Structure 1
Amino acid sequence: MLKLEAAAAFVAVAESGSITEAARRMALSKSVISERLSELERGLGTKLLDRTTRKLSITETGRSFYERAKRIMQEVADASAEIAERRGELAGPLRIAAPTSFGILHLGPALYGFLAKHPRIELTLDLDDRFVSIVADGYDAILRHGPVVDDGPVIVRKLASSRRFLVAAPDYLETFGRPGTVEDLKRHKGIIYSIRGAADWRFKVSRRLTTVRPQTTLRVNNGILMRDAALAGLGLALLPAYFIQAEIADGRLVSIDVGAEPEGASIYMAFPEDRRGSAKLRALTAWLRDVFGDPPYWEA
């Protein structure tokens, strides 16, 4: 007889590409995952995975089984959630991903109240600055600062606006001077976000976006470190307001006007199209919009 926990283990391995990652996602040991996979293959009488010491791959039979098993697991989760919803509760697993710095500074604190209100939700939050895939990485939803592009059909919901500001420490400006135009920026040191597609600075000049590439003093893929490097006087940084509202307010960072507005962005939540009916995701979207505000509290 097919056991759901064995099918769930196989789906997690197929989506993550490794037993180690599947064990982490399911909060189980690798030996338990391996045992469940072996039990599933014995029960089905066929091989679903080819395993060596260096590589794990899905067999042709395994790929066919995965599509059905994934639907079954989703149906079970949806059925359980539907029963809970009929009792006026939201329940069951919810796995989301978000950028590291935004997650630490704003998303985490926003989620605490949501989980207190819905104690039967089992939330897994992965903080990662890389561009994770909703579909391929098996998430129920992702939060992203900027455009959402994925390898499958997704639904995107805007949570909040996000203005960017060009900032520097007073010590840096005293030493190197204050830029007054976009052209001046090319002669200054820049602290650059190193994630793909985000390295350039863009400003609205005469209704068009102008790209600027300053001299680079530091490249890093984390906004908090960029903010701290600016505080240390290493250079100019172009950062979302949610990183720097307190530092601008107390004067440790200065907002610089170069006669053109930096390109803005938004905070989005995206989820697979087949999760459109999820009451948990609807509730989470509404909760985060309410907590962040419009305009968001970090731009007050």
Structure 2
Amino acid sequence: MEFRHLGRSGLMVSEISYGNWITHGSQVEEDAARACVHAALDEGVTTFDTADVYAGTRAEEVLGRALEGVRRESLEIFTKVYWPTGTGPNDRGLSRKHIMESVNGSLRRLRTDYVDLYQAHRFDVETPLEETLRAFDDLVRQGKVLYVGVSEWTADQIARALKIADEMGFDRLVSNQPQYSMLWRVIEAEVVPLCEKEGLSQIVWSPIAQGVLTGKYLPGRPAPAGSRATDPTGSGFIGRMLDDELLRRVQELKPIAADLGLTMAQLAVAWVLRNPNVSSAIVGATRPEQVRDNVKASGVRLDDETMRRIDEVLGDVVERDPAKTVSPAKRP
């Protein structure tokens, strides 16, 4: 396993992070989840990403139990706040009230005294940005949070936050967590250039495009039983990629992976790690062998010719429009 700095901070993270978005607490049983976590640890993964909203807070609980007994100083545990975790009007968003209550809930579920990175899961248009950033800064001062970041924010939103932090003397953001893959490159136009200039890095989710880039989804064929496309908790994200022409192009990547001695998944993860602004690629798994396969992408460096071949195959099925974002216009 290789490691990279998170932004301009001194924190090192593993190139491959383990994430439990729709697996722990919902898609797989706890024994399988624990096996996946320990497979990641065995392979040198030290960075684990979750969120309070995943599986209705259960994902944090499962991860906390799975990591129990592991030396805390050897781990980087990331979680997030924003989405509803209750039915009340203050059980959501980035208000000071919700942030303070949510971090305490996350720490309790994760069985830890602090999280290494606390992330604003989306931008909250209904809360003053100064309020959110002051709450984050207070958590850093309290020692409950070591670093702060965001997830799926636009370049303009990140720039505004950095300006306020500089003016008010708050700890600066160190990272953004966007969707990024060969097929989804919307951060390249605006977010990455801003982050490179300002010292933030990307912790990317869905580098394998929800499994599409493994090649297991075939054009004109139904999705394999038990795959993410058949799971209602994750099918909404993958549905837009199940286009026959896109799937046909993905199949044409197989010879490129084979020439390099890589699996399709390893090629996809290595592709995002070639971007110098990416600190870590988040992978999920339902079986330990998936973890062991994906982590082999760490240390793989794709050359210019390989990148050219990939672009030639994918052509116009790649999404590059920075206006395309999963961020909501307002709180749910």
Whether the TM-score (by the shorter chain) exceeds 0.5 is no
Please identify which structure carries the higher strand content.
Answer: 1
TM-score scaled by length of structure 2: 0.23
Larger-Rg structure:
1
